Amino acid sequence: MCVVVLAVFSTCVHSQNGNAFHPQEANFGQLFQAISADEDYDATILYFQSRFKQNLGNHNEALQLAEAAVKANSKKAAYHLQLASVLSEETNHAKFFRKISLAKRIRAELETALKLEPANPNCLFGMMMYYEQSPAMLGGSKEKAHQFANQIGKIDRSKGYLAQAQLARIEKKNGDLEDLYLKAFQADPTSLDALASLAGFYASEGPKKKYNFANR
């Protein structure tokens, strides 16, 4: 059974080898400023604590904190996305029937997030990844995954190209990656995600690719 692995635009970018790096995680000043300005203080603290524990690889604590954040405020899409993200990690080592149970719960959290914020690219991206990586018996559909990628592009062109690149990487269509990463960067040169993805692509390609920004 395929494993559902979620990535959120605002928190991570995927390199060519599938690893994730977090250009925004180090900016703790902005993080604490966001927390202090949030009226939903307790749930926000739980949410960021869950992300922190997840990054440290502490799955059980990350899950408990994510569940607590959703319980504290079930109207915030980001909290449902975080819970889905933590749950998806458990599918790596879960047994077959447990994976089925997890997949259903992950989908429910993603659908709730999308219902709360239907125009949020992060919510659309989560559903895209679910459809792309889930088996047909659990509703997986590559066609639907690409439809979600197109929806993201209508909201944010740069993120739409990054979503298409993510699908291309999963589907082993490596010949499409350079063009998609370039288009993502050109659509929004201020996007850290687009820049990091493009840089990661050329770093992984090494001497095989030569890129001249002046000629683009």
pLDDT tens, 88-113?
998 888 888 899 999 999 999 999 99
Show the tokens assigned to 127: 């559903």
Cα separation, 45 vs 182, whole angstroms = 36
Cα separation, 193 vs 160, whole angstroms = 12
- pTM of the shown model: 0.79
Instruction: Give the per-residue pLDDT at 204.
Output: 87
Cα separation, 116 vs 64, whole angstroms = 22
| pLDDT beneath 50, residues of the chain | 1-3, 5, 7-26, 28, 36, 214-215
Q: Which CATH superfamily is domain 13-156 in?
A: Tetratricopeptide repeat domain (1.25.40.10)
pLDDT tens, 127-138?
999 999 999 999
Cα separation, 12 vs 76, whole angstroms = 19
